[in-house]
A and B are shown apart, each in its own frame.
Chain A
Amino acid sequence: MAGVTLDAVRKVYPGGVEAVRGVSLDVQNGSFCVLVGPSGCGKSTLLRMVAGLETISSGTVRIGARVVNDLEPAGRDIAMVFQNYALYPHMSVYENMAYGLRNRGTPKAEIAARVAEAARILAVEPYLQRRPRELSGGQRQRVAMGRAIVRQPQVFLFDEPLSNLDAKLRVQMRVEIKRLQKSLGVTSLYVTHDQVEAMTLSDQLVVLNGGLVEQAGPPTELYRRPATRFVAGFLGSPGMNFIAGTAAEGGTIRIGDLTWPAPVGAAARPGTAVELGLRPEDLRVADDGEPALPFTVEFAEELGASRLVHGRIAGSAAAVQLPAEAAPLLGTVPVTARAEAVHLFDAETGRRL
């Protein structure tokens, strides 16, 4: 097994579009790395460059110690799970899983053993003789993963593998993928646009935007200390509330005619346009004397485990997540958050202050 190292990787398409604009990344051996971002951020292109399905305009891609830039996909010792599964429709499940091994000249007995083992792990043994079209979406997904694991590759690549499944199955398969990856310990690169998938699956989370890495690191770190406003807004559901303001003297923030003490350690020059970021679950009703912002309640969404109250803070749309058993909010109430849960971003550069 091996890690994956990207060094200043760029992708420029013949039309001049630069899909990936210099990405460096170090995926540790055995870890699960998720690339997440909005559509068009270059995450799929990046994955396909690691797979060898796209040429690399510049920079190097290493799998283990080998530079694989000029290797064919087959020579890179990777396996890929595609969004539409890409199962061969005219072959049985068994043949689908065995195809890659047959092409590599693996002995028949070993193919049979490996396919049987993969089928057992993925619980697709009863379907080995069926064609893909006779399977449900979840079963096809398993077969696609089976095809990847029989090869015992150095690296798994996943290209939005769950986006064709319904919501319930998606959650179930997400857990299975995580469990499988942990038990096999194979280095994995996983592309998704779903931030929940990204948060839950990853050991290492990479948020991409416009062909560049916005931030990479453990998912909780990205969630708790987003380096940019983009990362802050992208991760988390319901999303972070942003309130525009101006840095003022003495480390405070002016929001309209209100004042909020700046978060600890924020060093913004007075006069800088800033954005205050507050996650809905970090907000609570303020006690008397606490620094607070007035929250005008509009309506509430009952989520079962909690209640999401929508409204406005200083004119911006905002939401506050409260425990389900909390008293209903009405009118305008003061809300506040712990100092370390208050994020401050430069409004111009989007950088964390």
Chain B
Amino acid sequence: MQAKRVTFPGRILPALLLLPQLAITAVFFLWPSAEALWQSLRREDAFGTRSEFVGLDNFRQLFADPAYLASFSTTLVFSASVALLSLALGLLFAVLTERVGRGRALYQSLLIWPYAVAPALAALMWSFLFDPSIGPVAKLLGRLGLPWNHQVNGGQALILIVIASTWKQVSYNFLFFVAGLAAIPRSLLEAAAIDAASPWRTFWTIVFPLLAPTSFFLLVVNIVYAFFDTFGVVHATTQGGPAQATTTLVYKVFRDGFVGLDLGGSAAQSVVLLAIVIALTAVQFRFVERRVHY
């Protein structure tokens, strides 16, 4: 893409304009990352008074730890479920509200609301709904012959955090899909109607491919969300339990570092996460983006 170049008269003004953003990046990203990288190569004693350089020992321990590897697969299942579910539901709602004649704006505003709810509140609400002793949903499920207790059943706990995390993210996806649908020229759909495409076929051969850039962007955002931004939900509902069944990688960083006080190990986990997010984004942009733009 060709961008217009703005030329500044001197060097001081552009530097000043960049400074606030660079300062924020430095303080909140570069410094902590460097600190984590440094910490990941060291080990502290139990009282936090001394630390020594141990090389890659922390990483070696990490990948030998079955709990960490389990957390890896938990995170994969969790993230894939959240990303796919929230994308699918966001798209479904966007397509459905587009067909609503009257009150479309009302439906759309209501569907955007969950995004404005704080993660901890959303998580708490879902915990209440599914609470094994007082939750109406849990009671309903029990009556249907599906006893629900996410406090003892690891699979159910995972389902609960998937639901709570998805619920929050659907709004975001919905918003982007509504905008994406609105950007498709009406005449394309009319041309498809004249070309004898059924509504179903029009959706899959015209609308969906034209939404591909939006979907791709959202896929990246959703995976990053599921990987890194769902700490609040996990903390407020299951706290990683029962028996580590919902301990995602991010949650494990917190648990091992701040609860278990293994700063070196926790830092090593952060570094692994950092590497994952860089790799994910790079792969997605290099290999997928080229295929989705028309």
Contacts and interface: CB of A to CB of B under 8 A. Distances in A.
A103 B190 contact: no
Contacts of A80: 190-191, 194
Contact of B193 (A53, A83, A88, A89): A53
Contacts of A230: none
B188 A100 contact: no
A100 B198 CA distance: 11
A103 B193 contact: no
A338 interface: no
Contacts of A131: 294
Contacts of B212: 90
The winner among A53, A79, A84, A86 for most chain B CB atoms within 10 A is A86
The winner among B187, B191, B192 for most chain A CB atoms within 10 A is B191
B195 A82 contact: no
B185 A74 contact: no
A78 B190 CA distance: 13
Interface string B192-221: 111111100100011001101000000000
Interface string A61-80: 00000000000111000111
A212 B192 CA distance: 30
Contacts of A104: 196
A51 interface: yes
A340 B18 CA distance: 76
A111 B164 CA distance: 50
Given A103-B201, A131-B294, A133-B294, A90 B210 contact: yes
Interface in A241-290: none
A86 B187 contact: yes
A90 B193 contact: no
Contacts of A127: none
A84 B209 CA distance: 19
Contacts of B201: 103
The winner among B188, B195, B212 for most chain A CB atoms within 10 A is B195
Contacts of B196: 74, 100, 103-104
A61 to B, nearest CB: 15
A82 B191 contact: yes
Nearest to A148: B194
A89 B194 contact: no
A88 B190 contact: no
A126 B206 CA distance: 25
Secondary structure dominating the interface of B: helix
A99 B189 CA distance: 13
A192 to B, nearest CB: 17
A90 B210 CA distance: 7
B190 A74 contact: no
B294 A86 contact: no
Interface in A125-149: 131, 133, 147
Nearest to B194: A73
Contacts of B197: 74, 99, 103
A74 B195 contact: yes
B194 A78 contact: yes
Nearest to B202: A103
A79 B194 CA distance: 7
Contacts of B188: 86, 88
A82 B187 contact: yes
B194 A88 contact: no
Contact of B190 (A73, A89, A90, A133): A73
Contacts of A133: 294
Given A86-B185, A90-B210, A72 B191 contact: no
A88 B206 contact: yes
B174 to A, nearest CB: 23
A141 to B, nearest CB: 14
Contacts of B294: 89-90, 131, 133
Contacts of B195: 74, 99-100, 103, 147
A176 to B, nearest CB: 21
Nearest to A80: B194
A137 to B, nearest CB: 16
A140 to B, nearest CB: 13
A147 B185 CA distance: 18
A53 B197 CA distance: 14
A131 B197 CA distance: 20
Given A88-B206, A90-B210, A131-B294, A72 B193 contact: yes
B191 A89 contact: no
B194 A100 contact: yes
A89 B210 contact: yes
B183 to A, nearest CB: 11
A86 B201 CA distance: 17
Given A74-B196, A104-B196, A90 B209 contact: yes
Interface in A89-117: 89-90, 99-100, 103-104
The winner among A52, A103, A131, A133 for most chain B CB atoms within 10 A is A103
A31 to B, nearest CB: 21
Contacts of A82: 187, 190-191
A323 B147 CA distance: 97
A89 B210 CA distance: 8
A215 B187 CA distance: 30
Given A52-B193, A82-B191, A86-B191, 6 more contacts: A51-B190, A80-B194, A86-B188, A99-B197, A100-B194, A104-B196
Top 7 A-B pairs, shortest CB-CB distance: A100-B195, A74-B196, A90-B294, A86-B187, A86-B191, A103-B196, A90-B209
8 contacts: A73-B194, A74-B197, A83-B187, A84-B185, A86-B188, A88-B206, A100-B194, A147-B195
